[in-house]
Every structure is written in C-alpha cells, then in structure tokens.
C-alpha cells in the first residue's frame, strides 16, 4: 500500500513513457494519415504528462494548448482537405529512402546514447531547477518567463521575427491574384 504511494510518480512515468513511445511508433506504422495524426496526439499528451511529473506544469499546459490544440488541428484540417484516403502507396519511393533512414537512425541512436551517458554521470534531475527564479523557488510559469524575457531576450525576439517573416510569406503566397495587374 505504502509502496504504491512512494513509487506513484515512477509508475505514472513508465505508463506515460509507454504511451508516448507507442504513439510515436503508431505515427510511422499507421497507413491512414488521420490515424497517424491521432497517435501523434497521444504522444503529445503523454509528453505533457511527463512535463507535469517534472514539475514543469506551464510547459505541459503550453504543450497541450499549442501542439495538441493548435498545430495538430491544422494538420488534421489539411489531411482531411486533401482526402488522403485516396492516395496510393508508393513502395519504390520508400525504398529509395532506406540509406538515408539508416544513417539518420545511427546518428539518432548515438545522440540518445550520449544524452543517456551524460545524464547518468551527472546528479539526478528532480525538476526543481525548472521552478527557480533568480535562485528563489517561485514556480514554473515565472521561471519560464524569467529566462525568456531576461536571459534569452534577444534570441526570443529574433525567433519571433523569423516567425513573422514566415507568416507574411505564407500570406503573400496564399493571396488570390487580383485582376489589377500591380503586385499580384
């Protein structure tokens, strides 16, 4: 009974990790793009759960709000508009990608291995660092705000300019041609 209470966080973590991995496998295993998008949604939600376990509740909420609630909805919107059910399989195209996939896979495995080694050789992470503002524990929202708007203000602003440029580009490309000659 007490064993359950003590190890509650670990049990939850392994459940969430299993869901996230299963979702990730589903994204590439499902034939139907809608099913793939749904399993990606499962992964997003499970990762949000892991953020909560790490005491990073702001990141969890933003993960759900932006990725699950915004970006994936737009993906689904596009998938449904192109009627993906009718797209035939193209095995020869997939076969050409095999060498690239092998190289990428090896690189990714190396990256994960180095990450695991670095993590296991350092002190165990407890998530408390995600709540520190200038050394004092305040909360995850405050900590994210502090590091974005104080420590990393310039990169943050540069990234928002990049996003703005992308947005304007999309609008310009998506605009209907007006019959007046001019800029269109």
Partner 1 sequence: MANPWVAFLLVPLVKIVVILLAVILLAAYMSFFERKVLAYMQIRIGPNRVGPRGWLQPIADALKLLVKEDIVPERAEKLVYFLGPVLVVVPALVVFSVIPFGPAFKLFGYEVTPYLTDVNIGILFILGVSSIGVYGVILGGWASNNKFSMMGGLRSAAQLVSYEVPMGLSVVTVLLMANSLSLVKIVEAQKQAGVWYVIPGIVAFFIYFVCGVAETNRNPFDLPEAESELVAGFHTEYSGMKFAFYFLAEYANMVVISSIATVLFLGGWLPPFPNWLAAVWALPALAWIPPIAWFVLKMAAFLFVYIWFRGTFPRYRFDQLMDLGWKVFIPVSLVNLMAVALGVLLIGGR
Residues 6+ away with beta carbon under 8 Å from 169: none
Query: Token pair 């793939």 is at which residue?
Result: 36
- What x/- string results for residues 134 through 163 when contact with partner 1 is judged by CB under 8 A? -----xxx----------------------
**Tokens representing residue 16 in the block:** 């969430």
Indicate whether 77 belongs to the interface with partner 1 (CB under 8 A).
yes
Piece of 18-26, 73-81, 86-94, 119-127 that binds partner 1 (CB under 8 A): 73-81
Could you report how far apart the first and last alpha carbons of the chain are, in Å? Answer: 70
Residues 6+ away with beta carbon under 8 Å from 28: 36
- What x/- string results for residues 34 through 53 when contact with partner 1 is judged by CB under 8 A? xx--x--x---x--x-----
**Residue 2 or residue 120: which is nearer to partner 1 going by CB?**
2
What are the angstrom distances between the C-alpha of 77 and each of 28, 148, 183? 19, 31, 30
Piece of 30-38, 90-98, 120-128, 148-156 that binds partner 1 (CB under 8 A): 30-38
**Residue 46 or residue 48: which is nearer to partner 1 going by CB?**
48
């Amino acid at each position: 009974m007490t064993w359950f209470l003590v190890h509650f966080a670990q049990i939850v973590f392994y459940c969430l990790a299993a869901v996230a991995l299963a979702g990730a496998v589903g994204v590439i295993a499902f034939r139907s793009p809608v099913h793939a998008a749904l399993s990606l949604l499962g992964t997003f939600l499970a990762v949000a759960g892991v953020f909560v376990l790490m005491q990073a509740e702001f990141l969890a909420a933003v993960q759900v709000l932006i990725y699950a609630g915004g970006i994936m909805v737009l993906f689904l919107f596009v998938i449904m508009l192109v009627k993906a059910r009718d797209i035939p399989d193209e095995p020869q195209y997939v076969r050409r990608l095999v060498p690239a996939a092998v190289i990428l896979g090896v690189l990714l495995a190396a990256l994960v291995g180095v990450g695991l080694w670095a993590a296991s050789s350092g002190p165990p992470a407890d998530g408390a660092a995600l709540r520190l503002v200038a050394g004092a524990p305040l909360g995850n929202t405050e900590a994210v705000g502090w590091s974005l708007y104080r420590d990393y203000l310039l990169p943050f602003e540069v990234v928002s300019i990049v996003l703005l440029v992308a947005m304007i580009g999309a609008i310009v490309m998506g605009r209907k041609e007006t019959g007046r000659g001019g800029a269109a």
